[in-house]
């Protein structure tokens, strides 16, 4: 049986002007859905926090980064703060920027102005966590882990889908808290980049806790890191047994996704 926990953090902050004591409850909007049509058009929707102090003025930018390129598409909305709930989606139709089967990261930038007193204002800026999309009706493939177990050793294969572009990618495997050295082999096939890690001098018929992690950045100009960690128990074979191998999906008990949602800047 596999248990999956998904943690979603909605970051709300209170900004306080230390001179006047004026405060605002503030949070950037979050991407809600991305719908793709015919591999050439998409609709992006987002939601604002209802607990946010109503700003005087809002500028929202919907930004698409095409991965593995420097191409950027940006659409800006400027509005009174009270009207922001009327601007919660953007349809992009047959734009030359969108290419079938290409990968994109979608980000929202949120600039707000709070006016108070006489000619006084506070400006806040934030950015949502990106949404990774593929301009296709087929799903985005997932990374995989494969285990080859013997009585006194185990080889862990970490498999990253070749079709997903990335800027940096790190893979790591631990057995009972101990790291491996560098991969014993790095290969690829038509579908995956594969790094293999070996653990030796194990005891037969013994349980070991295995933790694997994929850590990657998709954008070269972005500090966000996405990390997928899986953990579970594997059992080495008895002395007389032959080797066994299987994908982690058959044995793993939990998947934890750790992401940084957005940076917050005060102006």
Model confidence over 26-79: pLDDT tens digits? Answer: 778 899 999 998 888 999 999 988 788 889 999 999 999 999 898 999 999 999
pLDDT at 174: 92
Half-sphere exposure of 18 toward its Cβ, with a 13 Å CA cutoff?
1
Residues facing residue 168 across a β-bridge: 217
Residues facing residue 13 across a β-bridge: 26
DSSP string, 159-211: EEETTS--SEEEEEEEETTEE--S-SEEEE-SSEEEEEEEE-SPPTT-EEEEE
Strand pairing category for 41-47 and 131-134:
unpaired
Average pLDDT in the chain: 81
Residue 46: partners with Cβ closer than 8 Å, 6 or more residues away: 29, 30, 31, 32, 88, 89, 108, 128
Residue 243 pLDDT > 90: no
What tens digit of pLDDT does each residue of 88-121 get?
999 999 788 999 999 999 999 999 999 887 788 8
pLDDT at 245: 59
What does the alpha-carbon distance between residue 73 and residue 130 come to, in Å, rounded to a whole number? 14
What tens digit of pLDDT does each residue of 180-222 get?
767 888 999 999 999 999 999 999 999 999 999 999 999 887 7
Higher pLDDT, 139 or 52: 139
CB 161 within 8 A of CB 246: no
pLDDT at 202: 93
pLDDT at 264: 37
Residue 143: partners with Cβ closer than 8 Å, 6 or more residues away: 158, 159, 160, 161, 214, 228
Residues facing residue 197 across a β-bridge: 156
| Structure confidence at residue 175 as a pLDDT band (50, 70, 90) | very high
| Ordered structural domains, the chain, with CATH | 13-138 (2.60.40.10), 144-259 (2.60.40)
CB 157 within 8 A of CB 118: no
86-114 in b/e burial notation, b at 16+ Cβ within 10 A?
A: ebeebebeeeeebeeebbbbbbbbbbbeb
Higher pLDDT, 90 or 8: 90
């Amino acid at each position: 049986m596999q248990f999956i926990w998904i943690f979603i953090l909605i970051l709300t902050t209170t900004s306080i002007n230390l001179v006047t004591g004026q405060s605002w409850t503030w949070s950037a909007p979050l991407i809600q859905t991305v719908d793709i049509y015919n591999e050439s058009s998409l609709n992006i929707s987002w939601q604002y926090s209802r607990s946010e102090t109503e700003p005087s003025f809002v500028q929202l930018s919907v930004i698409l980064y095409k991965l593995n390129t420097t191409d950027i598409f940006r659409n800006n909305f400027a509005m009174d703060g009270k009207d922001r709930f009327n601007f919660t989606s953007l349809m992009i139709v047959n734009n030359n920027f969108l290419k079938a089967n290409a990968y994109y990261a979608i980000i929202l930038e949120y600039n707000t102005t709070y006016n108070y007193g006489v000619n006084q204002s506070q400006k806040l800026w934030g950015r949502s966590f990106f949404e990774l999309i593929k301009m296709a009706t087929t799903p985005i493939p997932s990374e995989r882990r494969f285990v080859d177990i013997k009585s006194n050793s185990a080889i862990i294969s970490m498999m990253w889908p070749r079709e997903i572009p990335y800027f940096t990618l790190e893979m790591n495997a631990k057995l009972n808290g101990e790291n491996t050295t560098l991969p014993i082999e790095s290969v690829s096939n038509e579908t995956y980049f594969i790094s293999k890690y070996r653990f030796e001098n194990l005891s037969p018929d013994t349980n070991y806790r295995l933790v694997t992690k994929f850590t990657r950045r998709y954008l070269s100009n972005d500090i966000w890191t996405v990390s997928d960690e899986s953990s579970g128990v594997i059992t080495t074979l008895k002395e007389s047994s032959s080797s066994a191998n299987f994908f982690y999906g058959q044995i793993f008990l939990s998947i934890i996704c750790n992401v940084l949602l957005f940076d917050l800047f005060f102006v």
